[in-house]
Amino acid sequence: MNHVENKNYYKTLGVDRTADAETIKKAFRKLARQHHPDANKGDKKAEEKFKEINEAYEVLSDPEKRKLYDQLGSNFNQYRQAPPNGRSAGGTGAPGTMNPEDFEEMLGSFFANGPRNARNVRTPRDFEQAVEITLEEAFHGTARRMTRSGEGDIEVRIPRGARSGTKVHVKGQGGRNSRGQAGDLYLIIEIAKHPFYELRGDDLYRDIAVDVFTALLGDEVSVDTLGGPLVVRVPPGTSSGRLIRLRSRGMPRLNSSEAGDLYLRVLITVPTDLDETELAQLTAMRHRRTGSQQ
In three-state secondary structure terms, 207 is: strand
Query: How many CB atoms sit inside 10 A of residue 127's CB?
Result: 20
pLDDT band at 271 (very low <50, low <70, confident <90, very high): very high
What sign has the CA pseudo-torsion 205, 206, 212, 216?
negative
3-class DSSP state of 74 = helix
Read off the pLDDT of residues 16-71 as tens digits, 9 standing for 90 and up: 989 999 999 999 999 988 888 778 888 888 888 988 898 889 889 988 888 888 87
The one-letter code for the residue type at 110 is F
Encode pLDDT of 95-120 as tens digits. 344 455 455 544 444 444 444 444 55
Give the domain ranges of the chain. Answer: 128-192, 198-290
Mean pLDDT score of the chain: 83
pLDDT, tens only, 127-174: 899 999 999 999 999 999 987 766 778 899 999 999 999 999 999 888
157, β-bridge pairs: 143
d(CA 13, CA 74): 17
Proportion of the chain above pLDDT 90, given as a percent: 51
| Assigned CATH class of 198-290 | mainly beta
In CATH terms, are 128-192 and 198-290 the same topology? yes
Helix (H, G, I), strand (E, B) or coil at 91: helix
Cβ neighbourhood burial of 82 (10 Å; 0-12, 13-18, 19+) = buried
What pLDDT, on a 0 to 100 scale, did the predictor assign at position 82? Answer: 52
Q: Collapsing DSSP states into helix, strand and coil, what is residue 143?
A: strand
Domain 128-192: CATH architecture, name and number where available: Sandwich (2.60)
